[in-house]
Structure 1
């Protein structure tokens, strides 16, 4: 089964660490990162999709994706 997450955060080193942590846990980058200006916070926000192949099992929407 392929699972999907979209990581977001202010475009800073903490966001890079979040993506790096996901990669170290077996997630793979999916597509290009995205950027948008958050007018309320007056900062750039980054996003990156990641996917991971996990053993086939029933999908449970109440289960956290990091628990697969």
Structure 2
């Protein structure tokens, strides 16, 4: 598939607390065919760890 399904963008950033729900969201997007783009960004908001993970559609990696 040369484009993401359901009209989704080629580049996505998911954010949220570092918990099972966030990990499942990232896993679901990987299962669609996206690939991790670099490592995650992690910060602490005073209460919990917050993670941001960029994902990219494989064709977009090569400028297609």
Q: Which has the larger radius of gyration?
A: 1
Query: What is the TM-score normalised by the length of structure 1?
Result: 0.68
The answer to whether structure 1 residue 45 and structure 2 residue 53 are counterparts is: no
The answer to whether structure 1 residue 30 and structure 2 residue 32 are counterparts is: no
Within 2, Cα distance between the matches of 1:16 and 1:45? Answer: 12
Query: What is the TM-score normalised by the length of structure 2?
Result: 0.72
The Cα RMSD (Å) is 1.9
Within 2, Cα distance between the matches of 1:19 and 1:49? Answer: 9
Which runs of 5 or more residues in structure 2 are unaligned? 4-8
Give the match for residue 24 of structure 2: 17
